[in-house]
């Protein structure tokens, strides 16, 4: 039998590369698998040999112990792979295809999927709408930071790259289609970014940088990226974004220095629930800070996109409210300014094909923008540690040597 190795969460601050079962066309019991999903048949699935799989900031929340993820959970929801086996119900996906896997698992059959709301599929997670690979409370679909991974509903979920050689040549760009590029772009779209917009993006991690690139693609006049980490801010400046260091004070004042007015047309929260304060409070966690700041700096009638992750269970929350995802928001301010905001998982399939075309036709260099850095599967624990320390990099795992061979 073919062996399989994967990156698993072993407890707060610890990940390991472990031996794990080779995928089958059936969900088995294991860490994080919803009991109602055990034994679920997957004749509509495909088994992939992983080409690339990325470390995500959402993974980092689990690894820090800031969710209810169980020890032993195989991580990884940003997956690109080669199809090596298909189930009997698969009609269009073929062995040998190089494909991108949306991090949202979607059936393609339910009402939400048919309406394009693939981030909240009704059929793949018995607990709640929406699912993802290798993620807490998402149904227990095994993660893809592994040599091999199972993808259900393959004909619906998989995005096939039209040319194998071109795909491998551009793999560091194309690997971003599984999550962060569509997610950042979704943040910009839902914030109402268009030609001539002024945009403020909180967070210069990979999703924030992807949102900045997305805003540029959408025609923004000025894109401002804010963070506490100077290395990450330098990365934002490398492709033309303006920057604000929120450790230096109120972003409203710094925005006014850049634009002549203290407000922007559109704003994006790419930070999420582990937000810190601004100015003198930057050393302390304050989970409502970013959202309240965005309500403050967004002009009346504007919009806020919120791709940053918020959870319903945070054992490390700063208070009892934060531990259940309850934040003290200035909703009255948002209401008074007639702001609109959009939360939740990005429906990746709404954007990934178009963004693939932008990559293949050299309209965007997302890998360069997020400083994509390939590492081996065995180096994943060090990659997690470096990312946790604020490295201005997007770590891309190469479990089967495809990236090294292409280089």
Domain 5-179+367-406 architecture? Alpha-Beta Complex (3.90)
- Dump pLDDT digits (tens) for 310-358: 988 889 888 998 899 899 999 999 999 999 999 999 999 999 999 999 9
| Mean pLDDT on 283-309 | 94
- Strand 148-151 and strand 159-160: pairing? unpaired
CATH code of the region 180-342? 3.40.50.720
Q: Which two tokens stand for residue 359?
A: 């990559």
| Mean pLDDT on 146-163 | 98
What is the distance between the alpha carbons of residues 181 and 206, in angstroms, rounded to a whole number?
Answer: 9
Which residues lie closer than 8 Å to 66 by C-beta, 6 or more apart? Answer: 273, 274, 311, 314, 315, 316
What is the distance between the alpha carbons of residues 189 and 202, in angstroms, rounded to a whole number?
Answer: 15
- Dump pLDDT digits (tens) for 6-54: 999 999 999 999 999 999 999 999 999 999 999 999 999 999 999 999 9
- State the DSSP H helix or E strand holding residue 186, giving kind and residue range, or none if neither: helix 180-190
Q: Which two tokens stand for residue 194?
A: 């268009």
Binning pLDDT at 50, 70 and 90, where does residue 359 land?
Answer: very high
- State the DSSP H helix or E strand holding residue 130, giving kind and residue range, or none if neither: none
Within 10 A of 376 (CB to CB), how many other CB atoms are there?
15
What is the distance between the alpha carbons of residues 312 and 315, in angstroms, rounded to a whole number?
Answer: 10
- Dump pLDDT digits (tens) for 110-125: 999 999 999 999 999 9
Which residues lie closer than 8 Å to 250 by C-beta, 6 or more apart? Answer: 278, 279
Tell me, what's the pLDDT at 209?
98
- Dump pLDDT digits (tens) for 214-259: 999 999 999 999 999 999 999 999 999 999 999 998 899 999 999 9
In the chain, CATH 3.90.180.10 covers 5-179+367-406
- Dump pLDDT digits (tens) for 51-104: 999 999 999 999 999 999 999 999 999 999 999 999 999 999 999 999 999 999
Tell me, what's the pLDDT at 312?
86
Strand partners, 41: 26
* CA gyration radius, the chain: 20
In the chain, CATH 3.40.50.720 covers 180-342
What is the distance between the alpha carbons of residues 273 and 174, in angstroms, rounded to a whole number?
Answer: 28
- Dump pLDDT digits (tens) for 280-292: 887 788 889 999 9
Residue among 354, 357, 343, 366 nearest 119 (CA): 343
């Amino acid at each position: 039998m073919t062996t399989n190795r994967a990156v698993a969460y072993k407890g707060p601050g610890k990940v390991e590369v472990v031996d794990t079962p080779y995928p089958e066309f059936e969900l088995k019991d294991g860490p994080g698998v919803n009991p109602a999903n055990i034994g679920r048949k997957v004749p509509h699935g495909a088994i992939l040999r992983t080409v690339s799989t990325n470390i995500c900031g959402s993974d980092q929340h689990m690894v820090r112990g800031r969710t209810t993820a169980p020890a032993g959970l195989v991580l990884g929801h940003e997956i690109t792979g080669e199809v090596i086996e298909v189930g009997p119900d698969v009609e269009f996906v073929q062995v040998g295809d190089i494909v991108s896997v949306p991090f949202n698992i979607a059936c393609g059959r339910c009402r939400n999927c048919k309406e394009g709301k693939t981030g909240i599929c009704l059929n793949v997670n018995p607990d709640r709408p929406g699912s993802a690979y290798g993620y807490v409370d998402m149904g227990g679909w095994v993660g893809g930071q592994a040599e091999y991974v199972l993808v259900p509903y393959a004909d619906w979920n998989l995005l096939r790259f039209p040319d194998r050689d071109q795909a491998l040549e551009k793999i560091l760009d194309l690997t971003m289609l599984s999550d962060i590029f569509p997610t950042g772009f979704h943040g910009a779209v839902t914030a109402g970014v268009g030609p001539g917009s002024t945009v403020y993006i909180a967070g210069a991690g990979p999703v924030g940088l992807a949102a900045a690139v997305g805003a540029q693609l959408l025609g923004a006049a000025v894109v401002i990226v804010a963070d506490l980490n100077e290395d990450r801010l330098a990365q934002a400046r490398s492709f033309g974004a303006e920057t604000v260091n929120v450790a230096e004070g109120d972003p409203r004042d710094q925005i006014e220095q850049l634009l002549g007015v203290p407000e922007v047309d559109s704003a994006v929260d790419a930070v999420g629930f582990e937000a810190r304060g601004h100015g003198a409070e930057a050393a302390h966690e304050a989970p409502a800070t970013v959202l309240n700041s965005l309500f403050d700096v967004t002009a009346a009638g504007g919009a806020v996109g919120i791709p940053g992750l918020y959870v319903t269970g945070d054992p490390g929350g700063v208070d009892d409210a934060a531990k259940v995802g309850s934040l003290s928001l200035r909703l009255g301010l948002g209401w008074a300014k007639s702001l609109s905001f959009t939360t939740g998982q990005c429906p990746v399939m709404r954007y990934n094909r178009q963004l693939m075309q932008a990559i293949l036709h050299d309209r965007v260099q997302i890998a360069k923008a997020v400083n994509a850095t390939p590492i081996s599967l065995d180096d994943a624990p060090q990659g997690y540690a470096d990312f946790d320390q604020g490295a201005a990099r997007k770590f891309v795992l190469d479990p089967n040597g495809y990236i090294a061979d292409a280089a």
